[in-house]
Amino acid sequence: MMQRKRVGWWFFTKAKLSLNKYRNFSSQHVILDNPNHSQVLVEGNGCSRMAILNRPSALNALNTNMLATLHKFYRSWEDNPDIGFVMMKGSGRAFAAGGDIVALYHLINKGNMEACKEFFRTAYSFMYLIGTYLKPHVALLNGITMGGGAGVSIPGTFRAATDKTIFATPEVHIGFHPDAAASFYLSHLPGHLGEYLALTGEKLNGVEMVTCGLATHYSLSARLPLIEEQLGKLVTDDPSVIEATLEHYGDLVHPDSSSVLQRIEILDKCFCHDTVEEIVDAMENAASETKDAWCIATLNRLKEAAPLSLKVALRSIREGRFQTLDQCLLREYRMTLQAIHGQISGDFCEGVRARVVDKDFAPKWDPPTLQKVSQDMVDQYFLPLSESEPDLELPTKSREAFL
């Protein structure tokens, strides 16, 4: 195992490799697009590669083929001694809006559970690869970055947000749970911001992302072509050199007065409680006392979410605070199988139907209230899989899991 070095903020450790000084880096620009993988394009020069998520009409929603292709490319680039670092961006107005939940919805309704499980195995395995990658990784988060889009970027070394970035983990509003490593990175955010984001699905902009640490850098989107050009000229595997380039073209910003980050004190006071019921009660009291628009909006978001998902999500974030990336992904995989099989509740399909397929925005949650969500229902999400159901297999022996 190559020696690792901590780069950037809080918990993500990344590799600093020593490239042979006599290595011949070509600066020639090449396009490596394979027509069989047109949903993932590749650009690069002799020292770097840029993976481009290319489903703009679907906001670059990730499917199994895209994730498998990315995994194949990334492994080959990691093994290539002439490539110093790797980048990722999305085409169009999104980085990636998440996984292709509409495709999953139709697969579940057709009874094709194996294809659903293959998607999640492929997704979580690639996210673990990003989180343990031995070369610096730069994700350019220009546009919508949600769910799985965050999962393929936030575990990496550098995440550059812009004035067009929109981040969220909105899974509780489709009867699911924040997955794709969300229970890992949300749980490490300051105070109880992770619980707030997980339970409300509220959005953060690029300024808020870099302020709380979800992003490492911020720049105006108009600067991105120049940033890409300058990164493309680098002949390095040194994270500090890449970081210096990102900082040189970055912008110093602060969240405005309407930001949730200006309400951390009341957020922590309400979201520190042990149960969802106590959190809702605290928000109701705050909304009643202050008549504050943010408190009222937060309370409404909590009441719109699937009650079972709220309880599952809260426990997931709390457990993630004491687990490594691989432990979080393994647990999330078990939780995901419970959600898609629908034996405890059919909330996932109902949520996707109501918000994405039929768009009537009137999901009929089961159970319909927090009071009807039993402890046993929640506990089942966290149980080991049956002996006949294989667990998620991650290469933890060959790729170090980070604290």
Closest CA to 158 of 208, 79, 231, 93: 231
* Full DSSP string of 53-94: E--GGGTT-B-HHHHHHHHHHHHHHHH-TT--EEEEEESTTE
Neighbouring CB atoms inside 10 A of 251's CB total 14
Q: At what angle do helices 293-304 and 193-200 cross, to 10 degrees?
A: 60
Q: Spell out where 63-127 has E strands.
A: 85-90, 94-96
Give the active site residues: 99, 148, 171, 179
Task: List the beta bridge partners of residue 53.
Answer: 40, 90
Contact between 83 and 65 (Cβ < 8 Å): no
Task: DSSP for 271-285, please give it.
Answer: HTSSSHHHHHHHHHH
Length of the chain, in residues: 403
Tell me how many degrees the CA angle 265-269-275 measures, rounded to the nearest 5: 150
> In the structure encoding, which two tokens stand for residue 85, read together?
């670092």
